[in-house]
Structure 1
Amino acid sequence: MDLLDRDALEISALLEARELSAEELMKATLERIKAVNGKVNAIISLRDPETLLAEARKVDNSPRRGWLHGIPLAVKDLANVAGIETSMGSPIMAGHIAKEDSVFVSRMRRAGGLFIGKTNTPEFGLGSHTFNPVHGHTQNPYDLSKSAGGSSGGAAAALASRMLCIADGSDMMGSLRNPAAWCNVYGFRPSWGRVPSDPEGEMFLHQLSTNGPMGRSPADIAALLEVQSGWDHSQPHGLLPEIYLDRLMADLAFARIGWLGDWGGAYPMEAGVMDTCKQALKSFEQMGSIVEDVPPPMPAEQLWDAWITLRSWAIAAKLGPLLETHRDELKPEAIWEIERGLKLSAMEVHRASVVRSQWFRKAADLFEEYDLLVMPTAQVWPFPVEQRYPKSIAGRAMDTYHRWMEVVVPVSLIGLPCLSVPAGFGENGLPMGLQLIGPARGDLRVLQLGQAWHEGTQWVSKRPPQLP
């Protein structure tokens, strides 16, 4: 097996045993980036190679700091890494060099990670398609003419093309899940509060987005989650750290799986998506799980209306000041979100949160019956990279720039842990994924069942055919 085909924990074990040096790993990583990044455009703001090799040599001669010791990392370009540009894909932020690490990044650094650069993202992370005017488009490694998804598209594409063995991302509306599905890797949205954001601005109200890990196995994700997670004393919300990796082994025998599918037809699906997902679902049954259809727990339109209210409110709160000072440099979708959010009344936001609360209670009841709820990760296959977003699905018009990703909303709205797992490939040769959804704070059970899925399916072993 090629070194860069190995999972992150395997590489870490080789480093710990001194069977591999950090310098050798860094050299192989930089050679891989040189060979394929020009086609994929996943890694951006790459640091000077000689400096990186020198840092790797220094790591080889220093005490081991954690399981990431000597492993090259590139952080999604919405978070800060000291000394590296944080553009957020926006010309407004282009050239801004971070002075300090984001909270979860500092934890990855303390565990020994070597930061080589960033991974590409849409402008301010808006939209599930990774393109921006600063760093351009990220291509899908499985079809270079297609989107890698987003907003963690650069991270997913870098993992799939073997430029990284482990990565971070963030997820407001499927941004850890959609690109994982489209790039045949794993993306984990942890329970809200599990991985802290940065202690800045308003810290009490906006509970939608979260940072989290991506990888080519749930075991790698569990290990990185242990590093990233844990309460930050400077923030009002958060969860205490937990041990995941040592408790990961479980089997699917007698697990009860609730299949939500397309939410009773509320979510239109492109041809072939449901067939691929239903075929993948049989793997649960083959492993001894009980799979049952679950009718829609709530009207999808209620969830959508609550979601776009809370989302626009959060985005307007964060980006609103830019509307007056940099309107000409914002993409239309950002302007739409900000203007919509600025018009909301306090009671409109309250009513949206009431719906969110109702859905949380209904979901809690469902998890009294099921270990997992399962849905497709996306409603469409990866689309042409030059397309901004799908305007229709199966003949149904999309009324916003993000309606085509509505299937991720039930998770995002109430902050549930959710692992996107590879579900195989369609007749078109493109990857698809399933969302494995767990109860609030049930991250471990989701990862346990995800690891059993991984060992039973091994879809990740199918490498991108268009790359060396």
Structure 2
Amino acid sequence: MQQLWRLPAVTVVDMLQRQQVTPLQLVEASEARWKETEPLINAMPITCWERAKEKARQMQHPANPPRGYLYGLPVAVKDLTAVKGLPFTRGSLLYKDVIADFDDALVQRLEQQGAIIVGKTNTPEMGAGSQTYNKLFGTTVTPWDTSKTAGGSSGGSAAAVAVGQVWLATGTDFGGSLRNPASYCGVVGMRNSVGVVPQDEGPDGDEAAARSSPAWRLRSVSGLLARSTADLALGLDALAGTHEGDQL
């Protein structure tokens, strides 16, 4: 079961649907791979394995699953995106003790579509820069050559996917932050069109609201990293759609 990480996401989701593997087995396989590789690449410094296992045990699938339903696939979320109950550091010492009290629209969509979040991936401070290092968690490297950068700013997600810690991971892209780390880590990242993947402002007064304004988001998008175009398409089927919190 620990070798499940080698399989494509499309294959694993098909196995889940056919009940040939359970969500709990996948979370455990993801955890085992994280333990094996994280000391080498520093991709996912925030994890929630026990929470993920509990969600896996309790998961019940809808009678008529929507398009893109993931059936319990473990995924990681870049630490510029809020996941309720998990640290929301943005890679900054300023926010090292902040715990998110809301789920971003993207996270809501993932969980509605049957994904299980297992952790949050490293990013440069506030996502600024085409690399991935910060004073809080340190440097993320590409698993192909651990003396080299994973790129950025979604380098943690790209490295985690490349090494098989998760099958899909979220990222953001303002000027290349999905595409650059994909090229450095040998995976697939696509800057999807504005409005395809929902984002929202979060609660009133949240400091992220300014960066989530329509003017900013005409330039910045949320998206995914995967190990193949087929896996990326699977993830976008899960994420794409409208959301009441996203004006675009």
Provide TM-score, normalisation by structure 2: 0.89
- 1:114 paired residue among 108, 113, 116: 116
What residue number does 1:417 align with?
A: none
Equivalent position SS for 1:43:
coil
2:203 is aligned with 1:203 = no
**Structure 1 residue aligned with 2:239:** 228
Q: Secondary structure at the match of 1:160?
A: helix
Other structure's SS at 1:118 match: strand
| Aligned residue type for 2:224 | P
Superposed displacement of residue 227, structure 1: 2.2
User: Larger Cα Rg: Structure 1 or Structure 2?
Assistant: 1
Which residue pairs with 1:218 in the alignment? 229
Deviation at 1:72, TM superposition (A): 1.2
Matches within 5 A, 1:345-356: none
Q: What's 1:42 paired with?
A: 43
Contact 2:199 2:245 in 1 (8 A): no
Residues 326-358 of structure 1: CA distance to partner in whole angstroms, max 9, x if unpaired?
A: xxxxxxxxxxxxxxxxxxxxxxxxxxxxxxxxx
1:180 and 2:182 correspond: yes
Write the letter of the residue equivalent to 1:72.
P
Q: CA deviation at 1:204?
A: 3.6
Q: Contact between 2:127 and 2:153, CA under 8 Å: does it hold in 1?
A: yes
- Deviation, 1:20, is 0.6
Note the C-alpha offset of 1:45. 1.2
Quick one: distance in 2 between partners of 1:90 and 1:193? 28
Q: Which residue of 2 aligns with 1:71?
A: 73
Who is 1:317 aligned against? none
- Which region of structure 1 is more displaced relative to structure 2, 94-103 or 140-149? 94-103
Q: Distance in 2 between matches of 1:3 and 1:197?
A: 31
Q: Tell whether the 8 Å contact from 1:104 to 1:229 is kept in structure 2 after alignment.
A: no
- Structure 1 counterpart SS, 2:129: coil
Distance in 1, matches of 2:44 and 2:144, equals 17
Name the counterpart of 1:88: 90
Partner of 1:20: 21
Residues 213-268 of structure 1 deviation map (CA, whole Å, 9 limit, x = unaligned)? 1111112212221222223334432xxxxxxxxxxxxxxxxxxxxxxxxxxxxxxx
Compared with structure 1, are the counterparts of its residues 30 and 235 closer, same or farther at alpha carbon in structure 2 (3 Å cutoff)? closer
3-state secondary structure, aligned to 1:115: strand
Cα 1:157–1:99 change in 2 (3 A) is: same
Q: Which has the higher contact order (CA 8 A, sep 6+)?
A: 2
CA 1:113 to 1:234, structure 2 compared with 1: closer, same or farther past 3 Å?
A: closer
Which stretches in structure 1 are left out of the alignment for 5+ residues? 238-468
Q: CA deviation at 1:89?
A: 0.3
Q: Secondary structure at the match of 1:98?
A: coil
Q: 1:127 to 1:69 in 2, by over 3 A?
A: same
Q: Which runs of structure 2 are paired with 1:160-179 in the superposition (5 Å)?
A: 160-179=162-181
Q: Could you tell me how far apart the structure 1 residues matched to 2:33 and 2:247 are? A: 42
Distance 1:154 1:29 in 2: 15
Counterpart CA distance in 2 for 1:216 and 1:178 is 14
Partner amino acid, structure 1, of 2:242: W
Distance 2:88 2:50 in 1: 22
Measure the CA separation in 2 of the matches of 1:18 and 1:231. Answer: 30
| Contact 1:214–1:221, Cα closer than 8 Å, also in 2 | yes
Please show how residues 347-366 of structure 1 align to structure 2 within 5 Å: none
SS in 1 for 2:93: coil
Q: Secondary structure at the match of 2:32?
A: helix
What whole-Å deviation, never above 9, does each CA across 1:135-166 have from its counterpart, x for those lacking one? 11101100011100000000000011010111
Q: Distance in 1 between matches of 2:164 and 2:91?
A: 23
CA distance in 2, matches of 1:95, 1:236: 30
Task: Answer whether contact 1:119 1:154 (CA < 8 A) is retained.
Answer: yes
Q: Which amino acid aligns with 1:92?
A: L
SS at match of 2:158: helix
CA distance in 2: counterparts of 1:183 and 1:134, whole angstroms: 22
- The answer to whether the 8 Å contact 1:203/1:236 transfers is no
* Structure 1 pair 234–101 and aligned structure 2 pair: CA distance change class (3 A): closer
Q: Which residue of 2 aligns with 1:339?
A: none
Q: Deviations over 1:61-114 (max 9, x none)?
A: x22556322111110000011111110001111121111111111000101111
Report the 3-state secondary structure (helix = DSSP H, G, I; strand = E; otherwise coil) of the residue aligned with 2:146: strand
